Structure 1
Amino acid sequence: MIRHLSLFTGYELKKSFSNPVWPLFGIIQPVLYLLMFAPLLKSMTRGGSTVEALQLFTPAAMMMIAVFGSLFSGFGLIGELRNGSVERYAVSPAWRPAIVLGRVTRDMVTLVVQAILVVVVAWLMGLRIGIAALLLMLLLMAATGLFASSLSQGLALAVRDENGMSQTLNLFMLPVMLLAGLFIPIAFAPHWMQVVAKINPLYYAVEAGRALFTGNLSAVEIPIAFALFIVLAAITTAWSVRSLRRVAG
């Protein structure tokens, strides 16, 4: 089982980095957000400093990587479904769940690399964070990314069409981003948005990240975010593996 998972993970990583342009674009986008958007938040902080703005936006940028970077990973699976690669993998002696879990593990590795780069850039801009808080943030990113990647693989196996999948993702992407307070903290939103945001799991992840970056390790949003995304990741992973078994017969 572990051997098959490592083989599929290595294969997916080799494919991803065989053309370094796309991973590079995935890394550059959150860094550009950090460099160009974080300074705009200075006026929304109590002290009006760059460090406070970075404490607001850096965890949001990391969650943006975890969710929206992983959500689009299923498009490659649709292409492999179309050309018959998935069926060939499925009839091989390999452990079938590794076909999906290898892709999910690849996404976890990629997002950790991207997150570390974002933290390095934020550190160069003046942000400081404790080791414990950083490790907790990376673990929360992993749980969030696992949910998003598994959801993407499950959607790809269910929809099997790029247009249908992109329309589904685009329908929910903007409201989820806004109600999570990714760009502007939800505290600045109208009251009705603050109420609706409480049903958005990503809101708790972003708030937990901001608490970690300000050193508030006792914030209630931290255990809530971990609990939510561990459960959601377990559900979507089970769904994607079950969908693969259905496709493979």
Structure 2
Amino acid sequence: MKLLRDTWLIYQQESSLMFRSKTLILFSMAQPISYLVLFAPFLKSTLAGQGANSYADAYRIYVPGLLVAMGLFGGLFAGYGLLQAIRAGIIERCRVTPISRIGLLLGRALMHVTLIVMQGVIITIAAIPLGLRVNPLHLLAAYGMLAMMALMATSISYDLALMVRDQNSLGMMVQTTSQPISLLAGVLIPLSLAPLWIRDLALANPFAWATDGIRALFTGHGGDDVVWQGALIITALAALSVVLSSKLFNRKIA
């Protein structure tokens, strides 16, 4: 109970700070909205072989990849906030309080998860006038997978931040790894269009499984095996990443 209470307290504090920064929220939405409006229309002819006979079909294929990209990039850059909190002495001051260190980390992570899911909701709403139609239950399941993805990416970012303790080094590591991971996840163009060797390589990428699962939900194939497989893989890895981050946090913030 104490861990839940401490996590909730930190989550409330971080969320209140986030919602005060309207500029941050607006600018975080600029890139995905521009991709939604400017990039997706090119996909109708590109994805014709994937069953995209209309712009609505193209958005059902493209929007899930965009959500995964937001979860991946938004989560991996979360480590900057942790480094700023460490340098500002916020983490140091929290150490002298009875707050659980795991709750201190998890509360911050869940704030980022909330922001990413909110962005996903906004992107989905913005795509509705463009023709997107999704089963509400499938949409909720997709948001659940997005939340697990964001939690895993955020925990990984915290691990990197705690190990390097430098914003420049963190930026280089995130930029270097996030691009190939996103490409191998098929976030912009489905991996079914890729050569066989890339599809085989993508099998080791958990974000690719999540992308396929969310894409199946958006296209009305909620009963496909890839849905439960993607959900299982991403949830298990999210739980594992949180445990590893908590141990590293306890060791580094001594």
TM over 0.5: yes
Tell me the CA shift for residue 48 of structure 1.
3.3
Match of 1:88 among 72, 83, 93: 93
1:14-38, CA deviations, whole angstroms, 9 ceiling, x for partnerless residues?
Answer: 2222221111111222121111111
User: Secondary structure of the equivalent of 1:180?
Assistant: coil
* Root mean square deviation of aligned Cα: 1.3
Q: What's 2:153 paired with?
A: 148
Q: What's 2:179 paired with?
A: 174
Match of 1:28 among 15, 27, 30: 30
The whole-number CA distance in structure 1 between the counterparts of 2:107 and 2:52 is 45
Structure 1 residue identity aligned to 2:170: M
Do 1:180 and 1:206's aligned partners in 2 also have CA atoms closer than 8 Å? yes
Structure 1: which 4+ aligned runs deviate by more than 6 Å?
Answer: none
Match of 2:138 among 133, 136, 140: 133
Tell me the CA shift for residue 3 of structure 1.
2.4
Match of 1:214 among 215, 219, 222: 219
Q: What's 2:80 paired with?
A: 75
Q: What's 2:69 paired with?
A: 64
The whole-number CA distance in structure 2 between the counterparts of 1:47 and 1:219 is 19
What percent identity do the matched residue pairs reach?
Answer: 33
Do 2:52 and 2:58's aligned partners in 1 also have CA atoms closer than 8 Å? no
User: Secondary structure of the equivalent of 1:218?
Assistant: coil
Tell me the CA shift for residue 47 of structure 1.
4.6
Do 1:70 and 1:145's aligned partners in 2 also have CA atoms closer than 8 Å? yes
Q: What's 1:15 paired with?
A: 17
Match of 2:113 among 108, 127, 132: 108
1:134-186, CA deviations, whole angstroms, 9 ceiling, x for partnerless residues?
Answer: 01101111111110111111221121111111111111111111111111111
The whole-number CA distance in structure 2 between the counterparts of 1:59 and 1:221 is 14
The whole-number CA distance in structure 2 between the counterparts of 1:61 and 1:50 is 16
Consecutive unaligned residues in structure 2, runs of 5 or more = none
The whole-number CA distance in structure 1 between the counterparts of 2:201 and 2:249 is 34
The whole-number CA distance in structure 2 between the counterparts of 1:47 and 1:88 is 54
Do 1:8 and 1:102's aligned partners in 2 also have CA atoms closer than 8 Å? yes
Do 2:191 and 2:199's aligned partners in 1 also have CA atoms closer than 8 Å? yes
The whole-number CA distance in structure 1 between the counterparts of 2:249 and 2:25 is 26
Q: What's 2:165 paired with?
A: 160
1:207-232, CA deviations, whole angstroms, 9 ceiling, x for partnerless residues?
Answer: 11111111101212111111111111
Do 1:186 and 1:194's aligned partners in 2 also have CA atoms closer than 8 Å? yes
* Structure 2 length-normalised TM: 0.94
The reply on whether 1:203 has 2:199 as its aligned counterpart is no
Match of 1:226 among 224, 231, 234: 231
Tell me the CA shift for residue 248 of structure 1.
2.7
The whole-number CA distance in structure 2 between the counterparts of 1:94 and 1:240 is 17
The whole-number CA distance in structure 2 between the counterparts of 1:59 and 1:23 is 20
Do 1:157 and 1:240's aligned partners in 2 also have CA atoms closer than 8 Å? no
The whole-number CA distance in structure 2 between the counterparts of 1:149 and 1:156 is 10
Q: What's 1:53 paired with?
A: 58
The whole-number CA distance in structure 2 between the counterparts of 1:175 and 1:209 is 20
* Structure 1 length-normalised TM: 0.95
Distance 1:171 1:32, change over 3 A: same
